Each structure stands twice: as structure tokens, then as C-alpha cells.
Structure 1
């Protein structure tokens, strides 16, 4: 018997997205959209001098899986470096594609195991992680250009 694609944990996470408001003056903003399902995320960041997320803001317009993924990303992103965010983004992509056996080293991502056979759902699950990694890279580049 397979686990349900949508379960209580995913629905709870989808309803409790942290940092669910855009930042008024971000160092960088990135918007991503899944052409497969139409899910959209916008991520705003402010990074500190070490290039770690100091503040995060998000606007999520996605299915419950995309919302739950954004919730997990947001709950653990503050204080993370670009290298950490890129590594989890890449590991998530590889896991969803069946290129690795275990979920990434990020709290809670194992809840998406039931979605592994549903490739049409993968882009929505990846969106927030892709957007935050890109936003931090952009913020770091802008900070370096201003220095």
C-alpha cells in the first residue's frame, strides 16, 4: 500500500508558511513559476555580511505540495549560506528525479516520498528551494558589486 500524496502533515505545513509576506526593501527578489502546474513563488531576501540569509519574505501561490515545501524551506532557511541552499536544492532535484535514494539533509523533506512517482508534482516541490538559492546568489552579487 502506498502513502497518500496529500496527508495531514503536508496540509498542516501548507497552512503554516513562515515569512509569508514580501519584504519591503529586499536585497534581491526572485520569482519562479512551474509551467507544469502553474504554481508560483516569490522570494525576497536580505543577507548578512557573511552571505547568510538574515531576513526572508515569501509569496506562495501553489498547490499544497508547493506550499508545504515552501513552509519547510522557510522554517529552516534563515542563517543558511548560498552553498547550503544550493546543495539542498540540487539534492532535492536529484532525489525527486530518482538519482539518489535518500531525501536531502533538510528537516522534513522526507514527507515528499509519496510524490516521488508523480513527476508532474516535482516542479512545485522544488520551486521555493530554487527561488531562495537564486535570490541569495543575486543578493550576494549585488552586495559585492556595491562594495
Structure 2
């Protein structure tokens, strides 16, 4: 998980990303600020993030960032719902590249909100029409 966190440097939060959202975990205080740019089809074209989180939150953010480009709001919403179901014990490991590395966090309920931060931030951004989130 720690090795994934170093990959976050490839996704800096730059000023010209027009759509933004911030999320915070109520259980551990982890935070994420996510910026997105969408293409003409409403798919994620570019992203950046600022993450202040535990290893689980950082690894989750890195996994989100690595595979988010080209994803639609439906893709992100589906993954988010499946991850929440999985964390609640009601489903299999969701189909998102690399997510298996986070399987040890399943037993760490205090880290579940940190794991969900990138998907929650993305859904906040994607659910608002244009502009900042």
C-alpha cells in the first residue's frame, strides 16, 4: 500500500482543473481535494488531487487516479457502489484495477471512509453541472 502512495505525485492538483470537490473522513480525518476535467463525452480526461490521508486513503486515491481517465459518471458511480457494498460485507471485491491490494483494509472499519474518499469526491464533482464542485 505504501508504494502506491508515491504514485500520487503523478497527479498534482493544478489550478486549471475546472471541476473540484473536497471530502473528509469523519472517522480518521483523512482528506482529499480532487480536480477533474471532462472530455466532450463527459468522461474524465484529466485529474489531479491533494491527499492528506493514512496509507489506506493514499493507496485508494492512487488506484483511483491510475484508472479514472476515460471513465464516465456511470463507471465511477458503479465502482463506488460496489466498493461500499464490499466494505459492508455484501459483495465481492469490485472490478477496479489493482483494488485487491486494499483487501487487508476490509477488516479495518475505521479506514473504510478513507478508502472511499476518491470515489466520493469524484461523485461530488461529477454530479454537479460544470464549474467547481
Shorter-chain TM band: over 0.9
**Aligned-partner Cα distance in 2 for 1:70–1:25:** 20
1:39 and 2:30 are equivalent in the alignment: yes
Deviations 1:14-38, CA, capped at 9 Å, x for gaps: 1211543213122210000001100
Residue 117 (structure 1) shift: 1.8
Structure 1: stretches of 5+ with no match in the other structure: 1-9
Match of 1:124 among 109, 114, 118: 114
TM-score (norm 2): 0.92
SS at match of 2:8: coil
Residue equivalent to 2:90: 99
CA RMSD between the two structures: 1.4
**Aligned-partner Cα distance in 2 for 1:28–1:112:** 27
Structure 2: stretches of 5+ with no match in the other structure: none
Residue equivalent to 1:59: 50
TM-score (norm 1): 0.84
1:30 and 2:13 are equivalent in the alignment: no
**Aligned-partner Cα distance in 2 for 1:30–1:115:** 24
SS at match of 1:16: helix
- 4+ residue runs over 4 A deviation: none
Residue equivalent to 1:70: 61
